[in-house]
Amino acid sequence: MQARLAAAVASLFTVAAQAQTVEINPVEHEVVSTVERYALQVPAADYIPYGGKFKAEFPQGLHLAVGSGLRFKGYEKDASLSFWALTDRGPNGDSPKVKAGEKAAPSKVFLAPDFSPRIATINVQLAEGARVVSTMPLKQDGKAISGRPIAPENSGSSKEVPLSDELKPLKYDDFGMDPEGIDFDKQGNLWIVDEYGPFLAQVDAKTGEFMQQYMPGAGLPEILGERQPNRGFEGVAVTPSGKVAAIVQSTLDIKKETRGSAQFLRLVVLDPKTNSTQMFAYPHDVSEYKKSGDAKIGDLVAIDDTRFLLIEQGRDKNKTMRNVVYLIDTKGAQDLTGLSLPDGKALEYADAKALSQFQAGGEVTGSGNIVSASASSSLKMISKTRLFDLRELGWNAEKAEGLAVVGELGKFADASELAVINDNDFGLKGDVAASERDPEAYLVDTDGKLADAKGNAVEASYRVAQSDERDTQFWVLHLKKPLKDYFPK
């Protein structure tokens, strides 16, 4: 693939003129040598039809967004690159809270309520740029699912109320999913995770049909159900040995008490052959954020059986966005299964000092059985090595939610190319036409009428328009050395 890049650089201006979608730029950076920047092309047939209240803003329909997950499929015969990609739950916007008795529930406006989350394939070649070549809806029992939330009384609910563009309540969907990560196994089956449950699903790559699903308390550790609302899994990775790793997007919020202080995020590893699981602690950059729970994972990709790449992102204490790529290793990390603090509380209640003095009662197997009584001087977490922040390379999208290693399948340690894609939320944004534009500062009743936070009627209107991030960015980054050279010695 170095020959591919050399030819591209030699004919840089010609390529840019032909494709109108790619820039190839050398960068001055200690890790990255060159970046290919593409604007992802989406066929008109894949635009989402929309004739609702705000149709004047979207004359061609709603732009398809496939940046919620990414995985390298392999090289095509013409040496172009092929990827799996993924949409999230569909075109939605922030919206006012719904007044329900004495409480107010969060909501989302769904411009296309019946939109089915889709699996996409992307082709990247220098002459034609990066383009979506096919899409396929996710299905349950042969029927396309939607991305609307699950009813509040059911497990896996985000507690959000789905609203129409008229701010009227929509039906919940108990098969609804908000997909956020994709990978595939040696049998060719896809593995997809979502933010709602969090759920982990094995999917037929030819039909989009769910084959098997795992959820907290039913195949996955029950504690994962304590995720922050709609911050379930944000990345999935299948290792060469066939195990499936998934990571929670942010800190768990145990009894709604730990989201702002927990010192780690949970990564779970499932062995589909035995249905056993392990959990490990990923030490996110707590000190970088105003609150620990502000950190978010973008994606996760396996290099080998214990080493992964992930994106950690979020606004720091100064409200500056960061999108940092880390190399992490679970080797030597303690399995959290069955572990708790001396008072019986979850480890999320411990501060950094308490975790450094943590005394484990014994080593725990994947089934939760204590097999020895050896103590530890501190909780052994996942190790991490910083590679780079995408912001250093000119990345200006808010979210980097798809990450892939480009190389020979099964030999990613020898690879020196990465691909990144952003989630642009279908290129739309909801706000209020008033001095206070944040929709979440308002309440709405079942008739779609707005009020301020105290319940007083206001003369203002909710609206949805195109956002500044209308296009999906797709980058191919060329590292100066193979990934294995960045492994800690």
pLDDT tens over the chain, length 489 residues: 455 555 455 444 445 444 457 899 999 999 999 999 999 999 999 999 999 999 999 999 999 999 999 999 999 999 999 999 999 999 999 999 998 777 899 999 999 999 999 999 999 999 899 999 999 999 999 999 999 999 999 888 989 999 999 999 999 998 999 999 999 999 999 999 999 999 999 999 999 999 999 999 999 999 999 999 999 999 999 999 999 999 999 999 999 999 999 999 999 999 999 999 999 999 999 999 999 999 999 999 999 999 999 999 999 999 999 999 999 999 999 999 999 999 999 999 999 999 998 865 444 333 333 333 344 568 999 999 999 999 999 999 999 999 999 999 899 999 999 999 999 999 999 999 999 999 999 999 988 999 999 999 998 999 999 998 888 999 999 999 999 999 998
Stretch (H or E) spanning 299: strand 296-302
- pLDDT at site 16: 47
Q: What is the CA radius of gyration of the chain?
A: 22
- Helix 12-19 crosses helix 2-10 at what angle (to 10 degrees)? 90
- pLDDT at site 371: 34
Stretch (H or E) spanning 47: none
Written as one string, the DSSP assignment of 172-207 is: --TT---EEEEEE-TTS-EEEEESSS--EEEE-TTT
Of 13, 76, 9, which Cα lies nearest the Cα of 406?
76
User: What one-letter code names the amino acid at 487?
Assistant: F
Read off the pTM.
Answer: 0.92
Q: Which two tokens stand for residue 51?
A: 């004739």
- pLDDT at site 156: 87
- pLDDT at site 366: 39
Is the CB of residue 201 less than 8 Å from the CB of residue 188? no
With 0-12 CB in 10 A as exposed, 13-18 as middle and 19+ as buried, what is 476? buried
Q: Which residues of 214-230 are buried (b: 16+ CB within 10 A; e: fewer)?
A: bbbeeebbebbbbbbbb
- pLDDT at site 155: 85
- pLDDT at site 10: 45
- pLDDT at site 470: 82
Q: Which two tokens stand for residue 294?
A: 């502000």
